[in-house]
Amino acid sequence: MQVQNLNIPDVKLITPRRFGDPRGYFAETFVASRLAEQAGIVLPFVQDNQSFSAAAGTIRGLHCQVAPFVQGKLVRVLRGAIWDVAVDARAGSPTFGQWAAATLSAENFAQLWVPPGFLHGFCTLETDTEVFYKVTSPYDRAAERGVIWNDATLELPWKLPGGQAILSEKDQTLPGWHAASDWFAA
């Protein structure tokens, strides 16, 4: 696997090798010992999640969970493409409030490691996009938090096909970065 640190070194772009032949390809997309050795990721994964978005321009996020259910995420795209972003919400971190992002697609086969303590969100770049991700802590409704996707402080350069965002009702009413500062993990 190829591991690339992004502008926030804790956020990593991981691309597994594909072994192809006339039938198609085979790939090992998750091998715990390789992630530990090559990327320094040693947290256990306890749950797998999958989402489907029918329309391009669907935004999911910015979400995280607070202690004791802080989640790290290993995100990949099964079909379609996304612009995937991680925002450092770890109080005291030298990169607090900064973001790292990458385009993930079924074609480029890349995965994004979003460490615990980061907000996570993505925008679908194609119709009928399926996203799969492993998490290091189970979902807990009481620990769930979020920041509005278009917060002016963060200035995220969302790549919106057609310029229109499609959001859930919940994601439309999330607080801004500064209003959410009381729950940022230490």
Active site residues: 63, 133
Name every residue whose Cβ is closer than 8 Å to that of residue 82 and which is 6 or more positions away in sequence.
Answer: 103, 104, 105, 122, 123, 124, 125, 129, 131
Name every residue whose Cβ is closer than 8 Å to that of residue 181 and which is 6 or more positions away in sequence.
Answer: none
